[in-house]
Structure 1
Amino acid sequence: MMSLHINGEIIKLNNISNPSHIMGNKAANLYKISQQGFNIPHTYFINFFSIDKIIPELTGSDSSTDINRLEKIIACGIDTLLISNIIDVLKQFKNDAPYISAILRSSAHIEDCKDMSFAGIYKSEFISCDIEISELRHMLAKLLCAPLHSSAKEYLSKMKTSNKDKDIFDISLILQNVINGSPSGVMFTQNPISNDNNIIIESTIGLNTTVTSGKITPDYYEINRKNGYIVKKEIGHKKIMAKIVDGKLCEENTPENYQLNYSLSQYHINELLKNAIKLEDLFGDVQDIEWIFDNDKLYILQSRPIVKKEG
């Protein structure tokens, strides 16, 4: 197997002195959110130097790249000191909170844009804070190579955008502790179907992965942004719920009393409405927001523009 050395750094997001050095929209948005006082999980930025050049050089013009082999090459090539520093952050998560699970998320230059979401193309992976070094290397390589998979190629082929091939590997990663809270969900500062200005909230019990993956029908709220009046609400089919067990993401049957009742209190709704409008004002555009409560404290997991109809 060929030899490769991939250097990099891991920095606490709040300690980044020059935000222009942040790679990718997800990390840049989280930095902006945290600087304005919103609650976010503990967040670290992982920058891989020259990864945007390394992967294209390894693949060349070969459209039938052996992705598994490439992932192994990259996994072995990631700098040992960088791996050690990531492990130290995971130990800190476990010792300080303690948090037993973390999530690695992509942050790419062309991801989470107004015209392109790249949803499902760039990946996220839940990991235990006790992860073995070999598995961590594999997870990092898997995320960095995600744009090589067929789903990414199909997505790119239908998009009408310049420089997309050059930009697709401009990728860094985010490391966050997982907040094992409830309720959670997504919200939109504009109705993505009708485009009216009502705030749309979709919520569930446990982690919001069951909502973002489409595995359940969440509770639905449509709220007038001016007076907070609930225009419409519907109880969803929340048959399964997600939570962290022994450091791993698990799904289990939702207790019946939670299935039959709404997941949000009026306090939750008020907090979400207030923060949705603040985030829209911060970014100057309508937002698609992921969130979770922990002991009634609201955390923003990400905020990005609502994507116009793609393709």
Structure 2
Amino acid sequence: MRATIDLASVDGTMLAQVGGKAANLGRLIQAGFPVPCGVVVTVDAYDGFLAEHGLTARIEEVLRTVDFDREDSIEEAARDIKEMFLEPGDKLSADILAALAGVDEEGLWAVRSSAVAEDLESASFAGQQDTFLNVPTKDVPMHVCRCWASYWNARAIAYRERAGVPQLQAGIAVVVQRMVDARTSGILFTSDPVGGRKDRLIIESSWGLGESIASGLVSPDRFVCDKVRRRVVESTINRKATAIYLSRDGSRSVPVAERDQTRPSLTNDEVKELMRWGRRLEEHFGSPQDVEFALEGDDIFILQSRPVTTLSEDGGTLWTRGYGDEYWADVTSPPLLLRPRRAADGVRQS
């Protein structure tokens, strides 16, 4: 059993071992995209944990009692199953810590689910499992166990049932990636998901971690780009009074200096560089992409890239997975990220 794999060694053929998210990130690394380093705790490690503790039969027994038409029945089953995932064990902990030591001994980590059915075009599983950010190295094994437990969140159990995904067949891996100490973060759509224009690329960004956007603390800056002419055709610079930054004590919210509140969170050159990465991602995957990014110093990192769940041709509804599990642990609602902008919200420049 191989408990961990370096993320840089993962490719698209390893879905059954590393899950959808890790396989996708591995494909990005193999294609030369700038993705934060990390390791994957494999599906084999999860299956081994189930076998070692005799959990498969116990979980099956709980699931047989579930009435999937009753929310309280699903929630009760979720509580019973999640209590089975308490400690990772000494051997697994040692394997994980040894793998991380080969990547970055002093770093903070993002610990995220990578279920085998995740990040597939046929269904959006983002937000069904839990994400843990700013995790010190010594605490990573316990958070891997908590990630496994979140595979059995009530919403995840219900979603698999509705999607026809067998509860115990697929399994879950966990991605452990170095946290980017972001000065600016955001989301990029390689086609306009609301207007339906495939010649437009949309970027939204703000200071610090993307959590400030996802939590609604700020209205992000917005850049509308012409993909063909490779230039910005419209920008809206909003007042960004608060930012969330990486800290060993957890994410910290700090006031933004007055002079920076209405300053663009991306320079023209950075917008152009993001436009270039966005075009490459769309070409690589062959479809419009929903991309999360962060800037650390002068370096751009691609945090995730997934197909846009719905690309409207008529200005209809978009259900995006942006920020769905990178910055928070709930399902994204479209009005949060793509609510209509008014001129009063910021300084619009065409």
Cα gap change, 1:225/1:47 in structure 2, threshold over 3 Å: closer, same or farther? Answer: same
How far 1:212 sits from its partner (Å)? 3.6
**Structural mapping, 1:1-311, within 5 Å:** 9-16=3-10, 19-20=13-14, 21-49=16-44, 51=46, 54=50, 57-60=57-60, 61-63=64-66, 64=73, 65=76, 67=78, 70-76=81-87, 78-95=88-105, 98-99=106-107, 101-132=108-139, 136-153=140-157, 155=159, 161=163, 163-166=164-167, 170-197=171-198, 198-246=200-248, 248-308=250-310
Task: For 1:25 and 1:35, locate their aligned partners in 2 and report how far apart those are by CA, in whole Å.
Answer: 15
Mapped to 2, the partners of 1:56 and 1:259 lie a distance apart of 53
Shift of 1:50: 7.3
Which string of whole-angstrom CA distances, capped at 9 and with x for unpartnered residues, describes residues 172-194 of structure 1? 11011111022111101111112
Do the aligned partners of 1:110 and 1:168 also contact (CA within 8 Å) in 2?
no
CA distance 1:18–1:226, change in 2 (3 Å):
closer
AA paired with 2:65?
D
**Are 1:228 and 1:273, in contact at CA under 8 Å, matched by a contact in 2?**
yes
The answer on whether the counterparts of 1:241 and 1:251 sit within 8 Å (CA) in structure 2 is yes
Indicate how the Cα distance of structure 1 residues 114 and 19 shifts in structure 2: closer, same or farther if over 3 A, else same: closer
1:156 Cα deviation after fit = 5.2
- CA deviation after TM superposition for structure 1 residue 145, in Å: 2.4
Distance 1:15 1:93, change over 3 A: closer
Residues 194-235 of structure 1 deviation map (CA, whole Å, 9 limit, x = unaligned): 221210101011112222444432111110001123222112
Aligned letter for 2:155? S
* Structural RMSD (CA): 2.8
Cα separation, 1, equivalents of 2:57 and 2:192: 43
- The alpha-carbon deviation at position 113 of structure 1 amounts to 2.4
Aligned residue identity for 1:30: L
Q: SS in structure 2 opposite 1:200?
A: strand
Partner of 1:4: none
Cα distance in 1 for residues equivalent to 2:255 and 2:3: 40
C-alpha change, 1:183 and 1:18, in structure 2 (3 Å) is closer
> Is the deviation greater in 265-274 or in 40-49?
40-49
The 1:88/1:271 distance shift into structure 2, 3 A limit, reads same
Distance 1:212 1:114, change over 3 A: farther
Does the Cα contact within 8 Å between 2:151 and 2:172 map onto a contact in 1? Answer: no
CA distance in structure 2 between the aligned counterparts of 1:36 and 1:118, rounded to whole angstroms: 24
C-alpha distance in structure 1 between counterparts of 2:12 and 2:290, whole Å: 26
SS at match of 1:174: strand
Does structure 2 conserve the Cα–Cα contact (< 8 Å) formed by 1:147 and 1:169?
no
Distance in 1 of aligned mates of 2:203 and 2:256: 20
Distance 1:168 1:216 in 2: 41
TM normalised by structure 2 equals: 0.74
| Distance across 2 between alignment mates of 1:124 and 1:275 | 26
Q: 1:254: how far off?
A: 2.5
Describe the SS at the equivalent of 1:148.
Answer: coil
Paired positions, count: 294
Deviation string, structure 1 residues 5-60 (Cα, Å, up to 9, x no partner): xx761111223488335432211111111011111111211114274694664333
Q: Report the residue type matching 1:27 in the other structure.
A: A
Quote the Cα distance in structure 2 between the aligned partners of 1:8 and 1:69: 28
Q: 2:315 aligns to what?
A: none
Q: Partners of 1:67 and 1:137 in 2: how far apart?
A: 21
Identity %: 23
User: Residue deviations 1:101-131, cap 9 Å, x none?
Assistant: 1110111222222243223212210143343
> Which has the higher relative contact order, 1 or 2, with Cα contacts under 8 A spaced 6 or more apart?
1
Could you list the runs of 5+ residues in structure 1 that have no partner in the other structure? 1-6
